[in-house]
Amino acid sequence: MPNGKQILKFAAILFFVFSIAFCRIAFAADTSEIKIGAIFAITGGASNLGSPEAKTGEMLVEKINKEGGVNGKKIKLIIKDSGSKPENAVSLAKQLIDEENVLAIIGPSTSGETMQIKNICQENKTILISCAAAEDIINPVASFVFKVPQSDSDAVRQIYRIMKAKAITKIGVITSNDGYGVAGGKQLANLAAENGITIAFSESYDKQETDLTGILTKVKGKDVQAVVNWSIVPAQSLVAKNMKQIGLDVPLFQSSGFGNIKYVQAGGEAANGTIFPCGRLLVAEELPNDHPQKAVLIGYKNDYESRFKEDASTFGGHTYDALLVLTEAIKKAGSTDTQKVRDALENLKGVIGIAGQFNFSPKNHSGLDMNAYEVLTVKDGKFAIYKN
């Protein structure tokens, strides 16, 4: 039987819990700022993605707030580091939803992490704008889940388009054994038949691999006409080197994950000639002056590079786009009510961002199509638009 003292203690605890809960509601009701969460892989294997994403977020929010915020409200961006681990993304998402009551979550950086929290955001009715590319994120459509990077399926279509032009029909595929690699491998397999491509070899390697001559020797034994590597890990600059070293002299196609000049530098001379689909940021200066994206791209690039003294990458561009479409949706909704913002976002049209022109619809939660990709190549250690 509980005695009086215990009951008193219990009541005190209850009071405490309730008062904390009230505090939280009071905070949530504080309408002077808009709280947005962000989960990026700032450290760990995908840090090449997360680091520029976090920096861009910081920079852009500062700029938006300096210009008076959105609908007269300042934005507060709460950035969390997932360490590139999907399991961390789960707890961080819960933290952002339950403790910070954010309107939306931007990120995570990788497809693996995003897939882990897709359902959590959907169930809790929190808008998720992912910075990862996998088709699975928005297909099947979850009403609160969006993504801003181009789809991996469109990247595959671009690769197959170039292959057709080069009369390549038999290819070898290698992927990293993480969410990104697995998803890309799946799209390559799905779209092969309709494009007349035979995949003679498809295997994955460990994402921490430090040498790929073994798996490439196996590819070489299959007499393929081209190799496709799908990964975002540092191993992708090894592919080109190891292919040249073992005398596998066929064209190398990479995924859009190759779109970071650091990988080209790490790949050195071997990286020249690599063909990959990517957003236009990397070749912004090469675009014709009347290209609708040119001004946006050059603006972001200059801002980022002058502030952080490093090359802008497409990954940072994803944060830019995510914040752009979100703020546009908030403006259009004229409110910070989650449901209203979501509806506005779903019907947002003609917004020009880093990745391309966004035209969202209830069926298309990425807002982009195949034309958001430009096919690039590496020429003398620099990115250039690929020309047949």
Q: Is 55 in the site for another protein (CB under 8 A)?
A: no
- Bridge partners for 226 per DSSP: 171
Q: Which stretch binds another protein (CB under 8 A): 17-25, 231-239, 321-329, 341-349?
A: 231-239
Tokens representing residue 115 in the block: 């897939």
CA–CA distance from 192 to each of 5, 200, 219, 236, 374 (Å)?
73, 11, 18, 22, 20
Q: Which residues of 102-122 are buried (b: 16+ CB within 10 A; e: fewer)?
A: bbbbbbbbbbbbbbbbbebbe
Binding test (CB under 8 A) with another protein, winner from 47, 56, 151, 255? 47
Binding test (CB under 8 A) with another protein, winner from 34, 48, 77, 102? 48
* Residue among 210 and 388 whose Cβ is closer to another protein: 210
Q: Is 189 in the site for another protein (CB under 8 A)?
A: no
Q: Which stretch binds another protein (CB under 8 A): 25-33, 95-103, 240-248, 250-258?
A: 240-248
Instruction: Tell me how far, at minimum, the Cβ of 203 lies from another protein, in Å.
Output: 5
Q: Is 177 in the site for another protein (CB under 8 A)?
A: yes
Instruction: Tell me how far, at minimum, the Cβ of 78 lies from another protein, in Å.
Output: 21
Residues 251-270 that bind another protein (CB under 8 A): 262-263, 266-270
* Residue among 204 and 327 whose Cβ is closer to another protein: 204
- What is the separation, in whole angstroms, between the first and last Cα of the chain? 85
* 3-class SS of residue 70: strand
Instruction: Tell me how far, at minimum, the Cβ of 309 lies from another protein, in Å.
Output: 12
**Dihedrals phi, psi of 235, to nearest 5 degrees:** -55, -20
> Residue for token digits 């933290």?
95
Q: Which stretch binds another protein (CB under 8 A): 107-115, 203-211, 297-305, 332-340?
A: 203-211
Q: Is 43 in the site for another protein (CB under 8 A)?
A: yes
Binding test (CB under 8 A) with another protein, winner from 25, 247, 285, 380? 247
**Cα–Cα distance for residue pair 276/32, rounded to 1 Å:** 44
Give the sign of the dihedral formed by CA 152, CA 153, CA 158, CA 159.
Answer: positive
Binding test (CB under 8 A) with another protein, winner from 217, 302, 335, 347? 217
* 3-class SS of residue 173: strand
**Cα–Cα distance for residue pair 349/326, rounded to 1 Å:** 12
* Residue among 109 and 366 whose Cβ is closer to another protein: 109
Instruction: Tell me how far, at minimum, the Cβ of 381 lies from another protein, in Å.
Output: 12
**Cα–Cα distance for residue pair 207/62, rounded to 1 Å:** 35
Q: Is 241 in the site for another protein (CB under 8 A)?
A: yes
Q: Is 223 in the site for another protein (CB under 8 A)?
A: no
Q: Is 87 in the site for another protein (CB under 8 A)?
A: no
**Cα–Cα distance for residue pair 151/130, rounded to 1 Å:** 12
Q: Is 220 in the site for another protein (CB under 8 A)?
A: yes
Quick one: which of 175, 178, 130 has its CA closest to 156?
Answer: 175
Q: In the chain, where do the E strands start and end?
A: 33-40, 74-81, 104-106, 127-130, 145-147, 170-176, 198-205, 226-230, 252-254, 275-278, 351-352, 357-358, 374-379, 382-385
Instruction: Tell me how far, at minimum, the Cβ of 100 lies from another protein, in Å.
Output: 25
* Residue among 308 and 357 whose Cβ is closer to another protein: 308
Binding test (CB under 8 A) with another protein, winner from 244, 301, 342, 365? 244
The site for another protein (CB under 8 A) is made up of 42-45, 47-48, 51, 177, 203-206, 208, 210-211, 213-215, 217-218, 220-221, 234, 237-238, 240-241, 244-247, 262-263, 266-270
